[in-house]
Structure 1
Amino acid sequence: MGRDRERDHLAGLLRDARSGRSSTVVIRGEAGIGKTSLLEQVAADAGDMRLIRGAGVESESELAFGGLHLMLHPFTGRFDALPAQQAAALRSAFGLGSGPAGDRFLIGAATLTLLSELAADRPLLCLVDDAQWLDNASLDALLFAARRLGADPISMVFTVRDGVRPFPDRGLDVVRLAGLDRAAAQELVAAHAPELTVPVRERLLDEAAGNPLALIELAHALKSRPARHAGPLPVGGKVQESFRRRLAELPDATRRLLLVVAADGTADLGVVLRAGDALGLVPADLEPAEEAGLVVLDGEEVRFRHPLIRAVTYQDAAHHRRTAVHGALAGVLTGDEHADRRAWHRAAAATGPDEEVAAELERVAHRAGRRGGTAAVAAAYERAARLSTEPEGKARRLVHAARASYDAGRPDQATRLAAEAEHLTGDDGVVAEATFIRAQVAYERTSPAADAELALQGAALIVESDPDQAVSMLTEAVWSARDAGAHGLVRQSVELLRKVRPPADSAKAPVAGALIAYGRRLVDDAPDDVRPMRALFEAARTGGIEDVIERLIGGFMGLLVADDRAATELLERLAAEARAEGALGWLPYISEALAIGRVLLGDLHGADAATAEGLSLAADIGMDMQVTAMKCIAVRLESDPERSRALAPDVLRHAGVHPTNAALASWGLGLLDLAEGHAGEALERLDAVCSGPARYDVLIRAVPDHAEAAVRAGRPDLARAHLPAFEAWAAATSCTALIARCRALLADGDEADEHYRSALGLHGDRAYDAARTRLLYGEWLRRRRRRTEARIELTAARSAFARLGAAPWAERARAELEVLGDRPAASAGDADPLKRLTPQELQVVRLAAAGLSNREIGAQLYLSPRTVGHHLYKAYPKIGVTRRMELARLVSDT
């Protein structure tokens, strides 16, 4: 009663599922407001839909994947239908396999695929009550699935009690329950306590503030008691007080047995009774609680009628009683399957430091780590630290807890634990790791520069004792300082790298050498020796390096030495491996480098797809800094000028913190100005890029654009400002085509003609760069009235730009042809069907063209197979195909 609007909203959710669309709702509100009742109504309205139910249990909130296991364990027989990597991850998470679970997001991908599989024959409804108490690993998996469901007949509903634990409902539909209106509240009271006098009923209505549970419980309590005229209390407090009074009326033995039920997380009546027996209690002691309606017995299960009863039972018990109950539960939970619960009960029963229990919890952490439950790893290590008997052991366990917290996406907790560990020990290795964790948190929370400063501090402690780890920390320092444009920190990092002596056979040796060369180039403009950078790239390309971050940096080094095609191929392999292994957390970083590589190759379609994937994943998993980085690349793309200009204000406001990414966006805006004929504005933007702190990074490639803008703006003197540095880089990397173009811009007569022709001969397979040169050459030929030659070059440029998706440049070439009197007809490049696809559709089509099934594509892109099919369904009419086999020809032709 009184929930018509909310019920209508949830009825729409069910209609969506029945029509083949996914949707998720989070129902929020205070204790007793009616969330569970609304959930039961949704379940009743589900009809013939498949129903999966789960619930968060406070005492289970530290058990990795406990909540997910409760929901999905009946479907373990369907795991074989999942991609092998995902099936193995779920089995490991549920303790059914011995292998490692891998990246924590792989479980989310597996959950997504399994839910889609279960919805294949009929719509699916997933209901999760008290979701605030779900263990973090389960919550991460379910929310990942919820955010990436698309064309699936699946509805998900979470209920969340406010004021207990933070719940990450960002991006989800939230229904917030308020109290019942006065009429509905009166109707509810009348149904439960019609005998109340008017004054008592009115006082009850005032006090309960429309909270249904408060109305019911207080109505029962006031049947035999007058309404007290005390000041108002929070509704949750009133409800708890009502339960507290009812519990106080029970026999002492019943309250003690209820405490066992509250402390136990299995809901197994046998476990409860065996623990009760160890405490001198008998099954009959449970009867008064059942008669009072406080607990419900259902077969072999016993549960509280409302979660608040559990909370009051446990919280009001004396400490010595709680420890005794946990000790009893630890004693009856025998067998390997209960090892984790047993350890946590032993920890709860401990009254002081206990190294034996701490060691047992450390084993719990190891098991949780193998299952992929990083949040559970953190919780186990932290509790083990609290029970440690020696400061050094405590510090070591705290830093492990901090690392796991960081990996679980809990930066505040990671920082707190790392700082505590630092103050407990003099062990340089532990202090260095703690500092490194704080550095990595600082990247997102403060700035890349703060990250670099802390990483430097940590590395300085272990230069001699652990050179490999020192290189890892200095890698972080160099790259973060690079992002921050902090040349002083880059220089300090390079100086420290020179002191590190990793073993000759260590993979860190080429990493250190490449970073030193890169740092000198970035800070000191010393591009003459790119051999160490190329050596790291070759090691990463040929399999000499296995670490993901080092291979990623190796791929970026390939871009810095202008081996763009091979570097992009390496980054594409790295992205494919990350998808196959479920290493989703790495994909936004890989996508950033891959998108830049595709931009430099002129593959704007591919760059758009990589940017869209990286942006989507970064947003889904809360990587805000990486969201900004991907948006900066989106601005640099030339396929959608309106989008670029719309995104620019948001990303450029981060210029003070992240100048390198902001410079990438400014380069893109400068190119748009240049293509659209606004040479003065382009010159201003590009001069800032070429003079800025990132000028010797990939942004060295902006110098030819700066030179073109200067010449078109009538300032050839400025065109030469940055050319010496570019020429030195081009000579070191054998990237001479763009030098020839710049020389053509600044030359006259036959000399310019010679340089343009030279550039066109040197571009090779770089279609975008060649088209830019053809455009400039065609414009030059037109101005010299060599109309036939100009028409040839301009037509070729326009066709190439249209095919590549560089709309502003295609328009500039069209305008030049119109000056010649031409009215260009549509060319083959204009009809490129792949240009009609969204970035997501393009990714799906390309993978389908390579022969992958919908299930395999879904596993790579973290989408459900049905959503993949939906993208193909939308793509086919756009690109003019009717059968899957036509895709391979279409993609190869374009």
Structure 2
Amino acid sequence: MPRNAENPALLGRLRERDQLDGLLRDVRAGHSRVLVLRGEAGAGKTALLDYLSEHPGGGRVVRAAGVEPESEIAYSTLQQLCAPLLGHLDRLAEPQRAALATAFGLSAGQPPQALLVGLAVLGLFAEAAAEQPLVCVVDDVQWLDRMSEVVLTFVARRLEAESVALIFAARRPGDEQLLRGLPELSVEGLPDAEARALLDSVLPGPVDARVRERIVAETHGNPLALLELPRGLTPAELAFGFGAQTAMPLASRMEEGFQRRIAALPPDTRRLLLAAAVEPVGDVTLLWRALQRLGVGPEAAAPAQAAGLVEFAARTRFRHPLVRSACWRSADAADLRDVHRALAEVTDPAQEPDRRAWHRAHAAAGPDEEVAGELERSAGRALSRGGRSAAATFLERAAELSPDPKPRAERALAAAQARFDAGAPARVPDLLAAAELGPLGPLQRARVERLRAQVAFALSQGRAAGPPLLAAARRLEELDLAAARETYLSALGAAVHAGRLGGDDLRHAAEAARGVPAGEDAAGLLLTGLTTWSLQGYATAVPQLRRALAALTTEEDPRLLWLAVPAAQLLWDDAAWQRLTEQAIRAARATGALALLPTALVLRAGALLPAGRFTDASDLLDEAAAIGQATGLPTPPSAALTLAAYRGREAPASDLIAATVRDADARGEGQLHGLAHFATAVLRNGSGRYQEAMRAARQVIAYEDPGVFAWALAELVEAATRAGEPAVAAEARERLAERTGVAATPWALGSQAVADALAGPAGKAEDCYHEAIERLTAAGQELHLSRARLLYGEWLRRANRRTDARTQLRTAHESFTAMGAEGFAERAGRELVATGETVRKRSPGVPAELTAQEAQIARLVAAGRTNPEIGTVLFLSPRTVEWHLRKVFAKLGIGSRRDLAAALRDGP
């Protein structure tokens, strides 16, 4: 088979080759580039990858391909790609080195999380490219194992300045999800002239010109189709194009053509092709040993090679992946089992235990406990490498092969748990149904119910998840008290998420949980506190919630973050809010916890907003969105909503609020309703549309959502006061005092002082403003402090104390502008103008010429972080961090890291 620039598949590919040549030039110039070649089967993607591999322009090429039999073996394609680069492994930081070695089975260790493996691969590529440009080629993306796909997509989105090219070949959209949004090159059919020339080279004789045109049209110029479909057909058979085949998809027709050619080969050659198709990595030595056991000699290879279906060199190489699939589909089931059995017998159980187990599983004609046990051990090894999806697949097959109903049910349940942990909840219900067919003990049945409820909550954090979680918790109560407490806590959390759309679910969950013996661990204390809040009210719950938050002093309970943060907000406890979100970020980054990190980033961003750190919060939200895009994990909208409202940009904020409400209705998440209305109240108060702010705030307080309920009372006091509704403002002030007096934190008391200044006795307003400014200053609440100054300045202006008003309004305006609270800045600016002062507009944040990523790196450097530390935080290689830093120095006109803080401080 030709593999050079004259390859027929490269006819008419000048545009594609020019783009690939440009990509290599960029890489040689020190840049990184990513490209997805996308086209249907046979379009010529592999030929273009061959061209790229054979013309690297001085760079090093490493190549791998997804293989369908390997698609459930964790990290199989990634290990194939990285194997030639492992000589650089020792240059990585110890956590990354250990993660990659464990993922590849080179050493034992804690199961690594995908993000940590991704950082390690990013660093490995960067270290290899430091010697010479690196070209990484990944073919047949549609058959990548899940972990390889996640890691390679993550790396693709973080490459910038490492002199690395990462090129994927994928079929049409739908074959994979994670590569969406990466730069693409569409590989279409050949132009008509080149398509005709290629067709003429394989036609068996003269064919009517109209028939030839029809064939070109039917194949859409697909090179492989033009080469393969006419094979074996006479001129008479070609007289009407491809006849009845035209109704079939093109790939199916090509595969059927390969099946015809395979069927014409001698029996031993067919068996040889089948064994080559089943053997996943192209190991020729292993293949010949297996064939020897099958009684097939080397001479059987000649007909297959002569037919252009396969070649045997250092590795087995099929003409096209469709040849491999045609071999499977044309094989008899008994022959397929025989081939798998032979491959299992020659696979080293010490070096490749998982591949051996997989072959044995496919060789089994019926239940086989020995093979099932071997698969179960393979699942354990997969879990030790972080391959939950692979573990689930091994366990599923182990369950199928289990002759005894009891271990079959246990393995199905374990497979269901592994699928859930792998982030594939939609595949869990069928496995749970299979588990329920076997004899399950009471504890196992409770686990089934609990997992089914967790799946419901993962798929929709709305009302539907609460009742099944509650039922599972009740069943667990007499079997596993710790698991029962945790499940009751999940049921309470689900009811909190359901909010106003959940009816009496919160009360029912709390009443059921109240009878569970209290635990002294963080989960037990949090359950007690939330149960008390639900049933006995805020004041009674405060001491218990404080105990629960105090117990969360280590990084051992990040799974509780989604409930602990609302508890901190309930208590107006900014110190706990900051501590909890900081430790969650540290834990997620240290372990690369994909399931936790997006939520941790969003909650941390929310914690930064009261301090006025909008830019830092926005950076974290961008990071969460990037991870979500790379992994498919959802990101909560909470911080993004609040940030949009405080920024005060009407159109984007309103669009986000409307989208959140639609999503809340669709998913049954009433808590999002409260959050959306709170964001509306903030947005309207910022722009001075007080009637609308009042209506929105009143919708929030119609239901007691944690956190935003009390905050909405504060918004309502301000909106009602300005809208001329003193009775509404007074009632909201009194209800707010019921919370703030019990919480008694500087933040709570400062917020209450603002409400008292607005809606309390007129003669005490100025003293209340002074108290609010003092307390909010002590609390570090820069955003709320600036709002207090704005309100005080407005009060002073209305009292005709313009000089005093200017002082407060100027400070508020400058602070709002610096943090990026545009709506409130404009409101403060209007008030300043009314006092007779001219307002100078200035831009917030860092110097405008810096990009968002450059600004983020500059801030981290100014804070004393090293390049490797910054790379870990931002998921970049240290070399990319240094590249950005050189650009920052040039733009700011400075020469060293120590000058950055001053340059950022003195920016516009």
TM-score, normalised to structure 2's length?
0.90
Q: Give the match for residue 678 of structure 2.
A: 667
Of the structure 1 ranges 833-842 and 68-77, higher mean CA displacement relative to structure 2 is found in: 833-842
Is 1:184 the equivalent of 2:199?
no
Of the structure 1 ranges 94-103 and 27-36, higher mean CA displacement relative to structure 2 is found in: 27-36
1:774-853 matched pairs, under 5 angstroms: 774-824=789-839, 833=846, 840-853=853-866
Q: Is the 8 A contact 1:21 1:153 kept in 2?
A: yes
1:24-173 matched pairs, under 5 angstroms: 24-161=34-171, 166-173=176-183
Deviation at 1:841, TM superposition (A): 4.3
Q: Give the match for residue 348 of structure 1.
A: 362
Distance 1:34 1:803, change over 3 A: closer
Q: Give the match for residue 730 of structure 1.
A: 740
Distance 1:352 1:246, change over 3 A: same
Q: Is the 8 A contact 2:128 2:134 kept in 1?
A: yes
The one-letter amino acid of 2:262's match is L
Q: Is the 8 A contact 2:277 2:328 kept in 1?
A: yes
Distance 1:60 1:28, change over 3 A: same
In the alignment, the residues of structure 2 paired with residue 478 and residue 11 of structure 1 have an alpha-carbon distance, to the nearest angstrom, of 58
SS in 2 for 1:100: coil
Distance 1:786 1:33, change over 3 A: closer
For residues 312-363 of structure 1, the C-alpha deviation after alignment (integer angstroms, 9 at most, x for no partner) is 2222121111111211111111241110111011101111111111111011
Q: Is the 8 A contact 2:610 2:782 kept in 1?
A: no
Q: Give the match for residue 4 of structure 2.
A: none
Distance 1:490 1:423, change over 3 A: farther
Distance 1:167 1:122, change over 3 A: same
In the alignment, the residues of structure 1 paired with residue 445 and residue 25 of structure 2 have an alpha-carbon distance, to the nearest angstrom, of 55
Selected match of 1:469 from 479, 483, 492 = 483
Q: Give the match for residue 512 of structure 1.
A: 527
Is 1:757 the equivalent of 2:766?
no
Q: Give the match for residue 338 of structure 1.
A: 352
For residues 203-232 of structure 1, the C-alpha deviation after alignment (integer angstroms, 9 at most, x for no partner) is 754664432112212444247985375423
Deviation at 1:509, TM superposition (A): 2.3
Deviation at 1:684, TM superposition (A): 1.7
1:384-533 matched pairs, under 5 angstroms: 384-443=398-457, 445-485=459-499, 486=502, 488-501=504-517, 504=519, 506-520=521-535, 525-533=537-545
Q: Is the 8 A contact 1:592 1:614 kept in 2?
A: yes
Deviation at 1:579, TM superposition (A): 0.9
Q: Is the 8 A contact 2:102 2:112 kept in 1?
A: no
The one-letter amino acid of 2:232's match is A
Q: Is the 8 A contact 1:528 1:729 kept in 2?
A: no
The one-letter amino acid of 1:421's match is A
Q: Is the 8 A contact 1:218 1:239 kept in 2?
A: yes
In the alignment, the residues of structure 1 paired with residue 434 and residue 864 of structure 2 have an alpha-carbon distance, to the nearest angstrom, of 52
Is 1:647 the equivalent of 2:663?
no
The one-letter amino acid of 2:524's match is A
Selected match of 1:242 from 250, 253, 257 = 257
Q: Give the match for residue 8 of structure 2.
A: none
Of the structure 1 ranges 249-258 and 366-375, higher mean CA displacement relative to structure 2 is found in: 249-258
Selected match of 1:689 from 684, 693, 700 = 700
Of the structure 1 ranges 720-729 and 701-710, higher mean CA displacement relative to structure 2 is found in: 720-729
Deviation at 1:728, TM superposition (A): 1.4
Deviation at 1:665, TM superposition (A): 3.7
Unaligned runs of 5+ residues in structure 2 are 1-10
Q: Is the 8 A contact 2:207 2:235 kept in 1?
A: no
Q: Give the match for residue 607 of structure 1.
A: 617
In the alignment, the residues of structure 2 paired with residue 20 and residue 170 of structure 1 have an alpha-carbon distance, to the nearest angstrom, of 25
* Pairwise CA RMSD: 3.0
Deviation at 1:367, TM superposition (A): 0.5
Q: Is the 8 A contact 1:18 1:123 kept in 2?
A: yes
SS in 2 for 1:158: strand
- Equivalent residue pairs, number: 883
In the alignment, the residues of structure 2 paired with residue 610 and residue 517 of structure 1 have an alpha-carbon distance, to the nearest angstrom, of 34
Selected match of 1:582 from 592, 595, 598 = 592
Q: Is the 8 A contact 1:453 1:489 kept in 2?
A: yes
In the alignment, the residues of structure 2 paired with residue 710 and residue 345 of structure 1 have an alpha-carbon distance, to the nearest angstrom, of 72
SS in 1 for 2:352: helix
Deviation at 1:760, TM superposition (A): 2.5
Q: Is the 8 A contact 1:654 1:662 kept in 2?
A: no
The one-letter amino acid of 2:659's match is D
SS in 2 for 1:654: helix
In the alignment, the residues of structure 1 paired with residue 430 and residue 884 of structure 2 have an alpha-carbon distance, to the nearest angstrom, of 44
Distance 1:639 1:16, change over 3 A: farther
Is 1:293 the equivalent of 2:302?
no
Deviation at 1:13, TM superposition (A): 4.0
Q: Is the 8 A contact 1:148 1:862 kept in 2?
A: yes
Deviation at 1:73, TM superposition (A): 0.6
For residues 491-512 of structure 1, the C-alpha deviation after alignment (integer angstroms, 9 at most, x for no partner) is 222122223236x565532232
For residues 853-894 of structure 1, the C-alpha deviation after alignment (integer angstroms, 9 at most, x for no partner) is 222211222223344345445555676754212345678999
Of the structure 1 ranges 634-643 and 788-797, higher mean CA displacement relative to structure 2 is found in: 634-643
Deviation at 1:480, TM superposition (A): 2.5
Q: Is the 8 A contact 1:105 1:582 kept in 2?
A: yes
In the alignment, the residues of structure 2 paired with residue 305 and residue 437 of structure 1 have an alpha-carbon distance, to the nearest angstrom, of 45
Deviation at 1:630, TM superposition (A): 4.8
In the alignment, the residues of structure 1 paired with residue 851 and residue 493 of structure 2 have an alpha-carbon distance, to the nearest angstrom, of 32
Q: Is the 8 A contact 2:754 2:768 kept in 1?
A: yes
1:194-205 matched pairs, under 5 angstroms: 195-198=205-208, 204-205=215-216
Deviation at 1:386, TM superposition (A): 0.7
Distance 1:631 1:563, change over 3 A: closer
For residues 340-393 of structure 1, the C-alpha deviation after alignment (integer angstroms, 9 at most, x for no partner) is 111011101111111111111011011011111121111111111111123332
Q: Give the match for residue 868 of structure 2.
A: 855
Distance 1:15 1:678, change over 3 A: farther
Q: Is the 8 A contact 1:53 1:126 kept in 2?
A: yes
Distance 1:633 1:388, change over 3 A: farther
Distance 1:257 1:611, change over 3 A: closer
In the alignment, the residues of structure 2 paired with residue 320 and residue 378 of structure 1 have an alpha-carbon distance, to the nearest angstrom, of 26
Distance 1:537 1:460, change over 3 A: same
Deviation at 1:547, TM superposition (A): 2.4
Distance 1:892 1:452, change over 3 A: farther
1:9-28 matched pairs, under 5 angstroms: 9-18=19-28, 20-28=30-38
In the alignment, the residues of structure 2 paired with residue 203 and residue 836 of structure 1 have an alpha-carbon distance, to the nearest angstrom, of 57
The one-letter amino acid of 2:758's match is L
Q: Give the match for residue 316 of structure 2.
A: 302
SS in 2 for 1:722: helix
Q: Is the 8 A contact 2:846 2:904 kept in 1?
A: no
Selected match of 2:268 from 236, 240, 253 = 253
In the alignment, the residues of structure 2 paired with residue 651 and residue 869 of structure 1 have an alpha-carbon distance, to the nearest angstrom, of 39
For residues 11-35 of structure 1, the C-alpha deviation after alignment (integer angstroms, 9 at most, x for no partner) is 5544554555544333333332322
Q: Is the 8 A contact 1:464 1:501 kept in 2?
A: no
Q: Is the 8 A contact 1:207 1:232 kept in 2?
A: no
Q: Give the match for residue 680 of structure 1.
A: 691
Q: Is the 8 A contact 1:595 1:633 kept in 2?
A: no
Selected match of 1:540 from 549, 552, 575 = 552
Distance 1:89 1:575, change over 3 A: same
In the alignment, the residues of structure 2 paired with residue 570 and residue 163 of structure 1 have an alpha-carbon distance, to the nearest angstrom, of 40
Deviation at 1:677, TM superposition (A): 1.9
In the alignment, the residues of structure 2 paired with residue 228 and residue 380 of structure 1 have an alpha-carbon distance, to the nearest angstrom, of 50
